[in-house]
């Protein structure tokens, strides 16, 4: 019989990796609020946290040469640090709520060590796909595309949601504004299809839809691999 999923009821009941991810995201958001108000030479209005920690397009050095000024550049560590930065209170609240909702049960199913690897792989999958998309306009030269950063834990969180849907497919989840709960096995492909449509069509504002897809695909592949090896349970 399918059941209605209920998240943890207390912070103390959250397993260690998810708890530390929540804390680290909160500390990073605090660092943004503090240090990005401080002028930092060539960094100008951006602030050092966003300049160095957000995910910026690769291949913008030619644009910097033609513009005659410093522009943000891609550095490898941004593939990870971008997942701890956010664009506002609503942004971080939504992502951490999703991690709180689904992360604990997935961590218990996989084990803390494996869940830490899982989350990192989802973040990297999200960042790499998003990096390819936003960097493409600069591969042939300076181009005229705008340089903008990608921030947010959404790729990692949606990888966790994907794992939840695969491990607990018949759990029913209430999604606002739907009047009835939806089983996890339908929620995940539905959200993936919506993200793909919005990413290809360019709708949905400034949301990084391809980062969402990258995290979901990376999560699905890893769960399938571990399931084949006997390391991830399948509950129905």
- The parent domain of residue 170 ranges over 14-229
Residue 19 in any domain: the answer is: yes
Partner residues linked to 75 by β-bridges = none
**Residue 24's pLDDT is what?**
97
Q: What is the CATH number of the domain that holds 128?
A: 1.20.1540.10
Residue 235 in any domain: the answer is: no
Q: Show contacts of 116-119: CB within 8 Å, 24+ apart.
A: 116/17, 118/159, 118/160, 118/163, 118/219, 118/222, 118/223, 119/17, 119/21, 119/156, 119/159, 119/160
Residue 183 in any domain: the answer is: yes
8 Å CB contact between 211 and 130: yes
Residue 82 in any domain: the answer is: yes
Residue 26 in any domain: the answer is: yes
Residue 136 in any domain: the answer is: yes
Length of the chain equals: 236
Tell me the C-alpha distance between 77 and 64, whole Å: 21
**Residue 72's pLDDT is what?**
83
Residue 27 in any domain: the answer is: yes
Tell me the C-alpha distance between 49 and 40, whole Å: 10
Its pTM stands at: 0.85
Q: In 54-183, which ranges are continuous DSSP H helix?
A: 61-67, 78-81, 89-110, 112-135, 154-167
Q: Computed from CA positions of residues 41, 43, 49, 52, in that sequence, does the dihedral angle turn out positive or negative?
A: negative
**Residue 194's pLDDT is what?**
86
Considering all CA atoms of the chain, what is the largest pairwise distance in Å, rounded to the nearest integer? 64
Averages of pLDDT over runs of 10 residues in the chain (236 residues) are 54 87 96 74 67 88 58 91 94 94 94 96 97 83 72 95 92 74 84 86 81 95 89 46
Residue with tokens 């943000």: 72
Report the number of distinct structural domains present in the chain. Answer: 1
**Residue 196's pLDDT is what?**
87
Residue 205 in any domain: the answer is: yes
**Residue 40's pLDDT is what?**
46
């Amino acid at each position: 019989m399918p059941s209605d999923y209920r998240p943890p009821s207390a912070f103390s009941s959250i397993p260690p990796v998810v708890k530390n991810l929540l804390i680290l995201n909160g500390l990073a958001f605090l660092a943004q609020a503090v240090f990005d108000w401080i002028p930092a030479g060539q960094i100008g209005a951006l602030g050092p946290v966003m300049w160095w920690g957000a995910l910026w397009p690769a291949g913008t050095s030619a644009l910097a040469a033609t513009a005659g000024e410093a522009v943000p550049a891609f550095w490898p560590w941004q593939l990870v640090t971008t997942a701890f930065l956010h664009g506002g209170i609503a942004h971080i609240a939504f992502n951490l709520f999703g991690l709180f909702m689904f992360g604990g049960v997935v961590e218990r199913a996989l084990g803390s060590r494996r869940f830490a690897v899982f989350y990192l792989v989802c973040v990297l999958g999200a960042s790499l796909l998003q990096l390819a998309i936003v960097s493409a306009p600069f591969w042939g030269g300076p181009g005229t595309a705008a340089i903008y950063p990608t921030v947010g834990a959404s790729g990692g969180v949606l990888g966790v949601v994907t794992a939840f849907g695969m491990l607990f497919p018949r759990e029913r989840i209430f999604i606002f504004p739907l009047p009835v709960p939806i089983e996890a096995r339908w929620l995940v492909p539905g959200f993936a299809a919506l993200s793909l449509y919005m990413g290809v069509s360019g709708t949905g504002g400034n949301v990084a839809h391809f980062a969402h897809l990258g995290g979901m695909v990376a999560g699905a592949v890893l769960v399938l691999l571990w399931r084949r090896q006997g390391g991830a349970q399948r509950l129905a």
